[in-house]
């Protein structure tokens, strides 16, 4: 897997850029995914056009494309319920721990 990843980053209303970002190693209890498909949903468009959605306002750079699927590429320490090569999808929720949500 590459050391960097091309990401859609929203910096503020109307200012979205493709940015090369480092790919972090998975920590304990985490997995790394090689993304296969990423969707742009209504909330992504709303953030881009309006800079907010409901009470959530873009104040810091924000990654877009939270509806996605991929293949497990690395396992962090202690992960036993998934395996490298397994397909999975992510589903975002409003708990502010979006990076922690996954469905095998």
Over residues 43-74, the pLDDT tens digits come to: 899 999 999 998 989 999 998 888 889 999 99
The pTM for the full model equals 0.74
Sorting pLDDT into bands at 50, 70 and 90, what band is 95? low
Domains plus CATH for the chain? 4-100 (3.90.180.10)
Sorting pLDDT into bands at 50, 70 and 90, what band is 22? very high
Q: How confident is the model at residue 9, as a pLDDT?
A: 93
Mean pLDDT of 18-25: 92
**In the chain, pLDDT over 70 holds for what percent of residues?**
86
Written as one string, the DSSP assignment of the chain is: --SEEEEEEEEETTEEEEEEEE-PPP-TT-EEEEEEEEE--HHHHHHHHHSEETTEE--S-EE---EEEEEEEEE-TT--S--TT-EEEE---SSS-GGG--B-
Length of the chain, in residues: 104
Nearest to 75 by CA among 38, 33, 35: 33
């Amino acid at each position: 897997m590459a050391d960097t990843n091309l990401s859609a980053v929203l910096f503020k209303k109307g200012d979205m850029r493709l940015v090369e970002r480092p790919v972090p190693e998975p920590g304990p209890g985490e997995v790394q995914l090689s993304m296969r498909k990423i969707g742009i949903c209504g909330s992504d468009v709303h953030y881009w056009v309006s800079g907010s959605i409901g009470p959530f306002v873009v104040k810091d750079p924000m990654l877009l494309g939270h509806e996605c699927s991929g293949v497990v590429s690395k396992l962090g320490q202690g992960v036993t319920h998934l395996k490298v090569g397994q397909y999975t999808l992510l589903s975002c929720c409003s708990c502010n721990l979006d990076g922690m949500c996954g469905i095998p």
